Structure 1
């Protein structure tokens, strides 16, 4: 008989006007890695929040059976006390506290109210060794990269005697090397008998580590696939996720490249704090009308720093170089000038820098072009609503109303709101930094279609992505970046992952 550690039966969760989960059932075997797949908004994270007590017993219908007992978690403390630990996509670490302080925050090793720091540091060293993180317990979280922060979160989970570890998109913001290390760590935990539930959009990662896969679509569990006893292809998973076959991951496009549009010459940027550190070195870039130009490179190569410095000098100091639009030099010395000169930037961090999360879709859509919905500095409410509705329909933003707060949208729909905001600003050049990070294959296809439409309208698109297949599938030309400089340039149909990596390692 199978050793089932978790069984969720008939889980139904309703929010005002939306049924997020509809009679979902899930079985997880002890010691396995069980993957949850589905499009953004399908209900994966909601199901795990029900399990972990974020949505307490009584706020949903159905039953949770864990280790043979019926559970009624009233909060996350209840689930953690039973060894169920969830690591959310947005890491819950305090940047200005140390690694040790974060790991034992709320679970301090103390006697009579006094923290035992030697014991805390000793335990921290042991936990960091388990997750393979070579760092001092006293290191501040803000000094760590995202990959190392993710390892701190896992070390924090291990400090609580975890039996069932839930990871929500743990590799969404990681480079490939860090992602592989994290997956290897999950396999080590599996060997130690720890059960994991992995939510991920990266199907190649799921195929590598998952023993079982449950696919959720539109709030319902549509299939459970046993990877141990059958060969499961990515096409099988995608078909269940989106309800249709996706023979082509990237929409077809026939490029119609026109006249030169943007020209950046001799662009240099220095680090904002380190006086002697040059971040961007003599970059020359050109984009024509209707062209999608990619920038490839490893983490730390300077792609985002270049994009932000170009967009109103949002990053860096001692910036030099020239920017021409249609042959005329333009001023990009601040964001207002960049926007006025028809340059837009979709940031890689939509939650922190791209959106006002507690505001509505309507307010976010018009934020970058208030002049377009106002008269003599007074907002025209009717005009503003019409604009937001038009973009909601044009970009297929799945929401019952433009008055919905963006914090309640899925990642893919949030990204569409960011695009709406900048499209309403009427740019001629759109810089897209990791435009599909953290969103599913179905939503990615929609984003790709929007990008192609922009190019077909004659706009210039600069696309930064850590996913090389994405660049190869979308771009007409690709610049390869390494250590703040362009290492080479490839025409789209001649480019390959091997050629890109060769340029990086040989510079």
Structure 2
């Protein structure tokens, strides 16, 4: 049930009404309302392209509005830049921490607000002030240490502390948990709850539905640049929220619930087998088998060695111990090209830095894989066009225009293009490292469904995700990593998220599956 207008405006710390923003050829926001109350955590939900980022940028002064009004603490505001928004008490912490890693923690916290004496910065007093601001959030850090020496989680908390130096009334957190492990997320949530208890309005943007229901009081849902509604979180279920975001009932994820129970024939030769393969200083020697039509998940905390294991398996890192077998024959995988030559396709974790080529079109990005496999033999234009059309349709890539630069696509559609690139090479093994990170639920469901479909057709898949529920849903077997070594295996059908977490936290026995 949506809140009434009277309920929406009662005790409103922020009241955005009728916000409309138009770019050339597209209306990014169309008559959108957003209400934030002091002392609440408010989730902003919607698919990629729904208008979340545009609405945030209107609230924080990055974008001027074409129509509508913004009031903060009952006062109408017109923001001409981010400085105006900050002066009104609105601060933002973005997904990519916008701090100076080469400066100290204290310098980052107090940047622009240093304590001055006689026109000069009093660094001792500045660091004392930084300590006080950090302690207000329950953080105890040596403010003279370099910010870059700390984890991403700590840097996020330092960014929040910096935002609160100006005693912000409204704190916007844009995808703050995307690079955090479970423990770090809980640390961040403790800070968010403390801010809520002190009357701050926290606007929380995330793709993780479980986090929305764990930490939020209310949520606003956008779809295609328009307001769907404003809802108390306790009146929603995850399925209902997804349906509101997509404008349709989402049956795809429910259909995947039995994927982990699908039987896999392991009586024959594995498609790929690691036998004591590892790399000194990177990953300890491990045994991993992947059979035809099997999805093998790799689970563990951030930094546990999940990606390193995948890179050795793909040839992106050369194993200096043990051996890797493809179809029962030992092979040398010294480079990703060697992996491609042996039918191993690898989609890396950082799709922007290592996956897509932003200045190339969708079509050019898709054909890169098959061109790499063929070497100097050029792919005929007619074959390119047929392949590109086939995969754009099969994966639902939007917009369905092969000539659009890939950098202009949403994260979910960029990920689909990468998937198309490697499927076009007809691989025997597809390695996907965090393929659904930072994408909306619709694109996530599409990718998960495609992985399940491909594995049922006989393709072998190695699937890495920080979302343990996702790993359990898709995989028949899970390799568990800890401190850069394999600590065991679990059958997905015989465990749940709590059991998997317990196994990760308390070292398991090799070959438990």
TM-score, with length taken from structure 1: 0.89
Two-structure CA RMSD over aligned residues (Å): 2.7
Instruction: Give 2:418's aligned residue.
Output: 418
Within 5 Å, which residues of 2 pair with 1:205-284? Answer: 205-227=211-233, 231-246=235-250, 249-252=253-256, 253=259, 254=262, 257=265, 259=268, 260-271=270-281, 279-284=282-287
Instruction: Give 1:474's aligned residue.
Output: 474
| Equivalent pair of 2:93/2:160 in contact (CA under 8 Å) | yes
Instruction: Give 1:348's aligned residue.
Output: 349
Q: Deviations over 1:58-99 (max 9, x none)?
A: xx3322222223222122122112111112222223333332
Distance change >3 Å, CA 226–CA 331, structure 1 → 2: same
Which of 135-144 and 364-373 deviates more?
Answer: 364-373
The reply to whether residue 32 of structure 1 matches residue 33 of structure 2 is no
| Equivalent pair of 1:133/1:148 in contact (CA under 8 Å) | no
> Partners in 1 of 2:108 and 2:409 — Cα distance?
29
Give the deviation of 1:327 after TM superposition: 0.9
| Equivalent pair of 1:173/1:438 in contact (CA under 8 Å) | no
Q: Deviations over 1:94-121 (max 9, x none)?
A: 3333323333445555568744322332
Give the deviation of 1:490 after TM superposition: 2.0
| Equivalent pair of 2:312/2:319 in contact (CA under 8 Å) | no
Which of 236-245 and 320-329 deviates more?
Answer: 236-245
Gaps of 5+ in 1: 272-278
Give the deviation of 1:261 after TM superposition: 0.3
The reply to whether residue 154 of structure 1 matches residue 164 of structure 2 is no
Distance change >3 Å, CA 23–CA 384, structure 1 → 2: farther
Instruction: Give 2:98's aligned residue.
Output: 92
> Partners in 2 of 1:102 and 1:270 — Cα distance?
36
Instruction: Give 2:292's aligned residue.
Output: 289
> Partners in 2 of 1:136 and 1:357 — Cα distance?
40
> Partners in 2 of 1:366 and 1:161 — Cα distance?
51
Give the deviation of 1:484 after TM superposition: 2.4
Within 5 Å, which residues of 2 pair with 1:177-192? Answer: 177-192=183-198
Instruction: For residue 251 of structure 1, give the secondary structure of its aligned residue in structure 2.
Output: helix
Give the deviation of 1:190 after TM superposition: 1.0
What is the total number of aligned residue pairs between the two structures?
Answer: 493
Instruction: Give 1:312's aligned residue.
Output: 315
Distance change >3 Å, CA 110–CA 214, structure 1 → 2: same
Q: Deviations over 1:342-389 (max 9, x none)?
A: 222222222333223454333333334435799766x86676555444
| Equivalent pair of 1:256/1:456 in contact (CA under 8 Å) | no
Instruction: Give 1:276's aligned residue.
Output: none
Distance change >3 Å, CA 208–CA 114, structure 1 → 2: same
Give the deviation of 1:295 after TM superposition: 1.4
> Partners in 1 of 2:393 and 2:245 — Cα distance?
23
Instruction: Give 1:321's aligned residue.
Output: 322
Give the deviation of 1:214 after TM superposition: 0.9
> Partners in 2 of 1:200 and 1:394 — Cα distance?
27
Distance change >3 Å, CA 234–CA 95, structure 1 → 2: same
> Partners in 1 of 2:427 and 2:377 — Cα distance?
23
Q: Deviations over 1:175-207 (max 9, x none)?
A: 111112211211110111111111122222222
> Partners in 1 of 2:432 and 2:254 — Cα distance?
17
| Equivalent pair of 2:393/2:400 in contact (CA under 8 Å) | no
> Partners in 2 of 1:232 and 1:215 — Cα distance?
12
Q: Deviations over 1:234-278 (max 9, x none)?
A: 22212211223335635345556575200011122222xxxxxxx
Distance change >3 Å, CA 322–CA 133, structure 1 → 2: farther
Q: Deviations over 1:422-445 (max 9, x none)?
A: 223432211112222222322221
> Partners in 2 of 1:152 and 1:336 — Cα distance?
41
Give the deviation of 1:495 after TM superposition: 2.6
TM-score, with length taken from structure 2: 0.88
Which of 103-112 and 468-477 deviates more?
Answer: 103-112
| Equivalent pair of 1:84/1:165 in contact (CA under 8 Å) | yes
> Partners in 1 of 2:30 and 2:438 — Cα distance?
24
Give the deviation of 1:165 after TM superposition: 0.4
